[in-house]
Amino acid sequence: MITSEFAPGSPCWLDLGAPDVRAASAFYSAVFGWEYESMGQAEDMEGGMFRKDGKIVAGLGKLTEAGARSAWMIYYNVTDADATTQAVERAGGTVRLAPMDLDDWGRMAQYSDPLGGQFAVWQPGTNKGVELVDQPGSLSWTELYTSDATVAKEFYGAVFGWQFSDMQLPGGGGTYTLITPAGLPEERMQGGLMELPTEHLALTNGRPYWHPVFNVTDCDAAVAKVTENGGSVQMGPDDAEGVGRLAVCLDPSNADFVVLTPVRG
Q: What is the 3-state secondary structure (H, E, C) of 182-208?
A: CCCCHHHCCEEEEECCHHHCHHHCCCC
In angstroms, the first-to-last Cα distance of the chain is 13
Put simply, whether the predicted model's pTM sits higher than 0.75 gets the answer yes
β-strands 118-124, 71-77 pairing: parallel
- C-beta of residue 37 within 8 angstroms of C-beta of residue 49: yes
- Asked whether this chain's domains 11-124 and 139-262 adopt the same fold, the reply is yes
CATH 3.10.180.10 fits 139-262, yes or no: yes
Distance CA 230, CA 163 (A): 38
CATH number of the structural domain 11-124: 3.10.180.10
Q: Is the pLDDT assigned to residue 265 strictly greater than 80?
A: no
For residue 249, which of 264, 216, 262 has the smallest C-alpha distance?
A: 216
Rounded CA-CA distance 62/15 in Å is 10
User: Which residue type occupies 63?
Assistant: L
Q: What's the pLDDT tens digit per position in 74-124?
A: 999 999 999 999 999 999 999 999 999 998 999 999 999 999 999 999 999
Q: What digits encode the pLDDT tens for the residues 128-181?
A: 999 999 999 999 999 999 999 999 999 999 999 999 999 988 777 789 999 999
Which of residues 66 and 156 earns the better pLDDT score? Answer: 156
Query: Is 12:75 a contact under the CB 8 Å cutoff?
Result: yes
Residues contacting residue 218 through CB under 8 Å, at least 6 positions apart: 261
Domain ranges of the chain: 11-124, 139-262
Which residues have C-beta within 8 Å of that of residue 209, sequence separation ≥ 6? 71, 117, 118, 144, 145, 201, 203, 256
> Would you say 120 and 59 are in contact if contact means Cβ atoms under 8 Å apart?
no
Q: What percentage of the chain has pLDDT greater than the value 70?
A: 97
Question: Is residue 154 classed as helix, strand or coil in its secondary structure?
Answer: helix
